[in-house]
Structure 1
Amino acid sequence: MSLDRAVFAFLGCVILASVALAHFVNPWWIALTIFAGLNALQAAFTGFCPAAMLFKRFGVRTGAAFR
């Protein structure tokens, strides 16, 4: 799995988890979805993604987007 796919898979898991938590636990969990969306938006423009840096440290091979 490339770094790009790992980041997108992690983003999808965070979004789905936060929606489920907002539905079943507390509506304030939707803030996690907002944070994930804002982080993805800024990563698209700046190329800086903390999740990509973390996955790179774990040895995930570099993809095209996050180098």
Structure 2
Amino acid sequence: MNLDRSVMAFAGLVVLISSILSLTVHPYWIALTIFAGLNMLQASFTGFCPAAMVFRKLGVRSGTAFD
């Protein structure tokens, strides 16, 4: 799995988990979903993604979006 797919999988996982938590634990967990969405939006414009930096340090091979 390359860096791009890892970032997308992580973002999807965060959205799913926070959605489930907002339905089962407390509605304020929806803030994590909003944060993930805003982070994906800003990364699409700036190319800066903290998750990509972490995955790169973990040794995930590069993709095309986050070089």
| TM-score category (smaller protein) | over 0.9
Q: Detail structure 1 runs of 4+ shifted over 3 Å in the superposition.
A: none
Find the counterpart in structure 2 of residue 44 from structure 1. 44
Q: Please give the TM-score of this superposition, normalised by the length of structure 2.
A: 0.99
Give how far 1:43 is off. Answer: 0.1
**C-alpha distance in 2 between matches for 1:31 and 1:4:** 24
Identity of matched residues, %: 66
**Residues 6-47 of structure 1: CA deviation (Å, up to 9, x unaligned):** 000000000000000000000000000000000000000000
**C-alpha distance in 2 between matches for 1:55 and 1:47:** 15
Task: Write out aligned runs for 1:7-46 (5 A).
Answer: 7-46=7-46
Structure 1 counterpart of 2:45, one-letter code: F
